[in-house]
Amino acid sequence: MTPTGAATVADPESGGHGHAHTDGMLKLAIGAIGIVFGDIGTSPLYAFRETFAGHHPLAVDATHIMGVISLMFWSMMIVVTIKYVTIIMRADNKGEGGSLALLALVSGQTQMKRWSRGIILLGVFATALFYGDSMITPAVSVLSAVEGLAVAAPGFSGLVLPIAVAILVFLFSIQSSGTSRVGLFFGPIMLLYFGVIAVLGVLSIIKTPGVLWALSPHYAVEFFYLDPLRAFLALGSVVLAVTGAEALYADMGHFGRKPIGLSWLWFVLPALILNYMGQGGLLFREGRAALESPFYMLAPESLQLPLVVLATMAAVIASQAVISGAFSVTQQAIQLGFMPRLRIEHTSAATAGQIYIPLINWALMIMVILLVLSFRTSSNLTSAYGIAVTGAMFIDTCLLAVVLFHLWKWPKYLSVPLLAIFFLVDGAYLAANLTKVPAGGWFPLLVGFVIFTLLTTWSQGRKLMIERMREAAMPLKIFIDSAASSATRVPGTAVFMTSASEGVPHALLHNLKHNKVLHERVILLTVKIVDQPYWPESNRAKRETLGEGFHRLILRFGFMEEPDVPAALKQNHECGAEFKMMDTSFFLSRQTLLASDRPGMAIWREKLFAWMLRNAESAMEFFRLPTNRVVELGSQVEI
């Protein structure tokens, strides 16, 4: 634990073995369909339509229809199937995935490299972009689903915005109760949804079987050859077909690589491509008239309203997955020292990953509703959607390059061509989306830069504070020799939380100065968050006896775990008698920061860091310390 309450990453040591997936493969695969594929599964609601009717409309002719379908199919094959499912998902950090897990894995192997800081900053920026994505996904998914009302029942078109806002308010308001019960229904609903969109696609393909030829890559090449500028601009909308690909990697820890790959290859991918080809066939038959909503117009009029209900449920599930992902990413960022402590509530006694973070939840809700009310239509929102996704995908490819060259040590004749393809595809998508910055793409970039500034300010400020406190620290051996013989010893145990592995904690100095006593047993406790998701309980504690009743104790937790200090102490029998909470007092330091002209950070960042520190969650609650056994002692630190 650092003085600021964030966690320090310990030196990598062996231990911890990720997750063991004991559930049946089929059960996990169905669960993955319900949670992991909600985002990419709702893309047919708007992706195909936006490519033809968005900010860079295309002519509805054979060249463009076949070219777009071909681009979507091969994008899903290259980006999702090959890049994420086949390769990146093998780069797990003890079973966990996601940008921060990959960053922890990579940074642990590149700490001595010149460019390691740049890689870390890239990973942090990918995390910052994820928050922009987690604001836009619920807005665009729910709004595009509810817009089906205007197709199925035109008289209700004026209610689209109020209904969308009401659904979003309801969605965010139920987060505190947890999603374990609702989660039981996610799989079957998404199974039904994917089955329905596949059948609708097949029925349309039967009427226009020629669209099947669009699976050939030569149609995508022909599109670029005949109309290169519009093909490039179309990439900004085509990429909407693969939004959510990063979720496959981020949610790997919940389901495992094989169940996710199984669900994708044998169920989700066929359903999506059948629906996109069905929408293409509809455009061949109906022309531009079908662009009002090719997704809903695939269904007969009598079934359009039930399809709106089903699609809205799928959109809510997609939004739920992204919101849960935001909670999980926030927890990882706190544990890895990029974010101050926040109040984290566990909504399930059985599942550690089911958490709720009130501040993140309500901040997301406010931003999502503002997005819906500002952009008003899903078509306008898609302009803001692509940049966060393509930016994160491009950064994942950069991190993958480090994995291939420095962790897996693949031969260059394999890794270079593969990375060249990924960089070409991701770079093209990112460049095409940059053209949408004036039309709304500025929003996720603004959110990304603001959150990136907060994350890096906290990380750098925390390091500066530790350095300043070390400079003023008294050598521990000198303190023990002098204090043990002169101070009055009182019964009980005193636990002093400290981030430093040397020197006397400020709280210990202040306690002796003001109370003029020492407890019979004094524990200098450091909590370290290691760069792997879980740490084995059998190896959690590391003790060093310092003499005169003083002990130094280090407790290790994985970055996906909740640091429960009292529970860990009760498991420890190396510091003398068993720990009894009613005989134990916990002493915490609370620092007041003073901004100064000393080298380190700009004054405005020092003031920002001080504000973040003041508003951080109490260490007492973060480490689950008993409220009636905690003493806080203040001090001032100049940075």
| Extents of the domains making up the chain | 27-459, 474-638
Residue 494 · residue 520 · CB < 8 Å:
no
Out of 10-14, 511-515, 520-524, pick the least confident: 10-14
What percent of the chain lies above the pLDDT cut of 70? 89
pLDDT of residue 200: 96
Segment 8-65, tens digit of pLDDT = 333 333 333 344 444 467 777 887 787 788 888 989 999 999 999 877 888 899 999 9
Q: Is 510 helix (H, G, I), strand (E, B) or coil?
A: helix
Say how far apart CA 389 and CA 563 lie, in whole Å. Answer: 32
Better pLDDT: 214 or 34: 214
Inform me whether the pLDDT recorded for 330 exceeds 90: no
pLDDT of residue 225: 93
Segment 538-564, tens digit of pLDDT = 888 888 888 888 888 889 988 778 788
Inform me whether the pLDDT recorded for 365 exceeds 70: yes
Say how far apart CA 580 and CA 557 lie, in whole Å. Answer: 22
Better pLDDT: 587 or 468: 587
pLDDT of residue 5: 37
Mean pLDDT of the chain: 83
pLDDT of residue 254: 67
Inform me whether the pLDDT recorded for 7 exceeds 50: no
Inform me whether the pLDDT recorded for 419 exceeds 90: yes
pLDDT of residue 184: 60
pLDDT of residue 489: 86
pTM score:
0.80
* DSSP character string of 213-254: GGGSTHHHHHHHHHSHHHHHHHHHHHGGGGTTHHHHHHTHHH
Inform me whether the pLDDT recorded for 363 exceeds 70: yes
pLDDT of residue 230: 92
Per-residue pLDDT, averaged over 604-633, amounts to 85
- CATH number assigned to the domain covering 27-459: 1.20.1740.10
Residue 402 · residue 115 · CB < 8 Å:
no
Inform me whether the pLDDT recorded for 352 exceeds 60: no
pLDDT of residue 628: 86
pLDDT of residue 385: 81
Out of 194-198, 272-276, 508-512, pick the least confident: 508-512
Query: What's the pLDDT band for 115 if we cut at 50, 70, 90?
Result: low
Per-residue pLDDT, averaged over 589-597, amounts to 73
Q: Which two tokens stand for residue 30?
A: 């169905």
Better pLDDT: 571 or 204: 204
Residue 512 CB: number of other CB atoms within 10 A? 16
* DSSP character string of 100-111: HHHHHHHHHH-T
Q: What are phi and psi of 624, to 5 degrees?
A: 60, 40
Hunting for tokens 């420890």 — which residue is that?
Answer: 572
pLDDT of residue 176: 78
Query: What's the pLDDT band for 163 if we cut at 50, 70, 90?
Result: very high
Per-residue pLDDT, averaged over 369-382, amounts to 88
Out of 217-221, 247-251, 269-273, pick the least confident: 247-251
Hunting for tokens 């070409």 — which residue is that?
Answer: 424
Q: What is the DSSP letter of 55?
A: S
Q: For residue 129, is it left (φ>0), alpha (ψ between -120 and 50) or beta? A: alpha
Segment 178-193, tens digit of pLDDT = 655 555 667 788 999 9
| Burial grade of 114 (CB within 10 A; 0-12, 13-18, 19 or more) | exposed
pLDDT of residue 416: 94
Q: Which residues fall within 8 angstroms of residue 559, CB to CB, at 6 or more apart?
A: 7, 100, 101, 104, 332, 335, 336, 529, 530, 531, 532, 533
Element at 383 (helix H, strand E): helix 378-402
Inform me whether the pLDDT recorded for 484 exceeds 60: yes
In this structure, the dihedral spanned by the alpha carbons of residues 204, 205, 211 and 213, taken in order and rounded to 10 degrees, is 170
Residue 169 CB: number of other CB atoms within 10 A? 13
